[in-house]
Structure 1
Amino acid sequence: MVLADHAPGDSMEPAFEGLRKAIESMDIDVCGHTISVTVSIGMCKNIPDSLHEGLKSADDHLYTAKRQGRNRLVSDTCRLD
């Protein structure tokens, strides 16, 4: 979980999308076997009145990303894959 309430408006989506792509491009050696991993990210850009509401929104977006096929970023304003 990352809380970045002082980050400039649109700076977080490109940062998290870059992280997603970097993870996707990695090859990881585990006991002599190469594996690849991906990450789904749920992001709440429009911060609501409470932390609980913000976490629920991000969590809902995470599960949307997983339902849509994983390895993607879903936020209040975008769906990137």
Structure 2
Amino acid sequence: GRYGGEEFILVFENTSIDTAHEICERIRAGVEAFPFPDSVKVTLSGGVCEYRGESITEFIEAADSNLYEAKRTGRNRIV
């Protein structure tokens, strides 16, 4: 669901961190390859993390930290 103006949260229950990363990478690649009208280029950066019982705030902060790492290291990637 939408979390902020341009941020979304995806939750994959009973899914390993590696599988979650693979799913997000497929989504990222699909967005990049989609033929948007007028040759508009759209990309996606994402942060993946595993819930380990921490508070929801800490969990979201961990994902957010990975998102900003993806943006800082070139965008259009999943960290």
TM-score (norm 2): 0.78
Residue 70 of structure 2 corresponds to which residue in structure 1?
Answer: 65
CA RMSD of aligned residues (A): 1.6
**8 Å CA contact 2:17, 2:49 repeated in 1:** no
Query: Where is the strand percentage greater, Structure 1 or Structure 2?
Result: 1
Identity of aligned residues (%): 32
Uncovered stretches (5+) of structure 1, i.e. residues with no partner = 75-81
TM-score (norm 1): 0.76
CA distance in 1, matches of 2:61, 2:53: 10
- Greater Rg by CA: 1
Check if 1:52 corresponds to 2:52: no
Uncovered stretches (5+) of structure 2, i.e. residues with no partner = 1-8
Match of 1:34 among 2, 21, 39: 39
